[in-house]
Amino acid sequence: MTSKTFVTAINCMDGRTQEPIIKWAKEKFNADYIDAITEPGPDKILSEGPENLINSIKNRVKISIEKHNSENIIIVSHHDCAGNPVDREKHLEQLKKSLMKIKSWGFNVNIVGVWIDENWAVNEIG
């Protein structure tokens, strides 16, 4: 039996972002499953706090890495976010800060940021 592969997606709770990320991540990383960690506006949370929510996300990422052997983390920003209603430029600024925050956790994994545009297309940022 071959082992199944997992990817960790830190995504918005917005249902419109779920399927595009799952499809994209499975194709990009040849993954079987996507561990979904959802929050309203995760790019804002990871870049600005509060610390208790950052720690909650970190703990869930740790479970995905340690228990499912996930080797890739995706952080998602998206168009028309109700939880973080700012413009694209602000989202991308927060996304870059979020990537730095996740890297600071010291997990030995690949970390990718993505922007989901107004057509619900996934665009890799970093």
In the chain, what are the domains? 6-124 (3.40.1050.10)
Helix (H, G, I), strand (E, B) or coil at 101: helix
Task: Give the pLDDT of residue 3.
Answer: 74
**For the chain, what is the radius of gyration of the CA atoms?**
13
Q: What is the mean pLDDT of residues 68-84?
A: 98
**CB neighbour class for 120 (10 Å; exposed up to 12, middle 13-18, buried from 19):** middle
High-pLDDT (> 90) share of the chain, %: 96
Q: What is the mean pLDDT of residues 104-119?
A: 98
- β-bridge partners, 76: 114
What confidence category does residue 101 fall into, taking pLDDT thresholds of 50, 70 and 90? very high
User: Is it the case that residue 87 has pLDDT exceeding 90?
Assistant: yes
What tens digit of pLDDT does each residue of 14-59 get?
999 999 999 999 999 999 999 999 999 999 999 999 999 999 999 9
